Structure 1
Amino acid sequence: MGEITKTEEGRLFVCHGFDCSYKTRVDLRAADHAQFAAYFAKVSTPEAERSAVGKAVQYAEERAASVIGVRDLPKSDYTQSRVKGQMDCIDESTNTRSLLLYLEKRGLLKHHAVEANRSRGLFVDGRYPHSTAVLRETASGTRWAIDSWYEPAGGPPDIIPFDRWVANGRFGER
């Protein structure tokens, strides 16, 4: 599996090409920092914070696509392995977690903590292996899957209870 990419104060490292075959640095500008902060400015509930996370993921993916020069297709399959800009679930979940760590470091997450990425499916159980980024709601302990693999770059990520995400995943099922 791909390594967790390093997040630094003013940049994100974006994995692509499947299993983090390529890493592209995205330097965040003052306008990017301001945009992320704006998504979280009026957040007062865990639900609103998850909505802001979804917007932040979409924005970060748009920025990454503009730097890489390729817009990721949804649900990339193995035929796109090692194709610049295309992302498997390892790339997507790693990139999402890197963004979440950036948001956490900047103090924008008030109701959630970033956890390690998780996976489901083993083929033998009739499910395709798949990974996601995970947030834990601090008050309730509920875990949430933040899964952007199903949409093209900049599309809204699935943000669903982690237990429901784990139970899903039969071939063709979200």
Structure 2
Amino acid sequence: MKSVAAAALLWAGIVLADERATVCFNYGCVARQEVSFSETRLTELGRRLGLADTPVAERAILSLVVGQLYLWAGEQSPIHADRPGDFLDDGVHGMMDCIDHAETTSGFLRMMEGRRMMRFHAVEPIQRRVRWLVTQHFSAVIRETNGEAPDAGARFVVDTWFGEHGDPAVVLPLEDWLDGEGPNVS
């Protein structure tokens, strides 16, 4: 239905602008680049997310959708060179540490939230975990809403740092992630 509306707007001479987002890379968001996503691509992602009928289903689809956004962003920026963790891509232009991933993923999630693509979740501030007093890790976070009070729902990390560029995001309960859960990329 939305594609029919988009076609009608184009016929009427109204051009739909691409949605812009910022990706950051080269560790600690040292470099930033704006990327854009077409209405056609975003409509497809919205359609996929619209299939979710529960928060669990939405998180599963969201994992895939975030990976897809990274693939499209990698067509326009050097982040396609990113590898899992922090050492497999050491020194490569476009490498991303967890700060880069947390900021970029949060931006993608806010973009989807602004377009009302998520029905069961809201974007939360980035979280940090500290382990053994020397290592830390950052991740984007969503909160299950279910129409309850704003802070009542369970929170989940949406973490793209663990996988290859464009892989589905790892979605874990925040408490598990804070306890060190997640794939091993060492």
TM-score bracket, normalised by the shorter chain, equals 0.7 to 0.9
Q: Which residue does the alignment assign to 2:157?
A: 145
Segments ≥4 residues shifted beyond 6 Å: none
The residue that corresponds to 1:116 in the other structure is 125
Distance 1:65 1:159 in 2: 21
Matches of 1:39 and 1:52 in 2, distance apart? 7
Q: 1:142 to 1:28 in 2, by over 3 A?
A: same
Q: Which runs of 5+ in 1 are unaligned?
A: 1-7
Distance between the aligned counterparts of 1:65 and 1:120, measured in 2? 27
- Which amino acid in structure 2 is aligned with residue 33 of structure 1? L
- How far 1:9 moved relative to its partner? 7.0
1:91-130 equivalences in 2 (<5 Å): 91-124=100-133, 128-130=135-137
* Whole-Å separation in 2 of the counterparts to 1:173 and 1:22: 24
Per-residue CA deviation, residues 101-159 of structure 1 (Å, 9 max, x unaligned), is: 011000111111100000001542xx621000000111361000111101011012110
Distance 1:122 1:26, change over 3 A: same
Instruction: Say whether the 8 Å CA contact 2:81–2:93 is kept in structure 1.
Output: no
- What's the TM-score once normalised by structure 1's chain length? 0.84
Q: Percent identity?
A: 27
Shift of 1:79: 7.5
Larger gyration radius, structure 1 or structure 2: 2
What TM-score comes out, normalization by structure 2 length? 0.79
TM-aligned CA deviation for residue 71 of structure 1: 2.6
Deviation for aligned residue 1:41: 2.1
1:19 aligned partner, one-letter code: G
Q: Which runs of 5+ in 2 are unaligned?
A: 1-16, 147-151
1:75 — aligned with what?
85
Query: 2:77 aligned with 1:62, yes or no?
Result: no
- Calculate the aligned-residue CA RMSD, in Å: 2.4
Q: Does 2:139 correspond to 1:132?
A: yes
Distance 1:31 1:161 in 2: 32
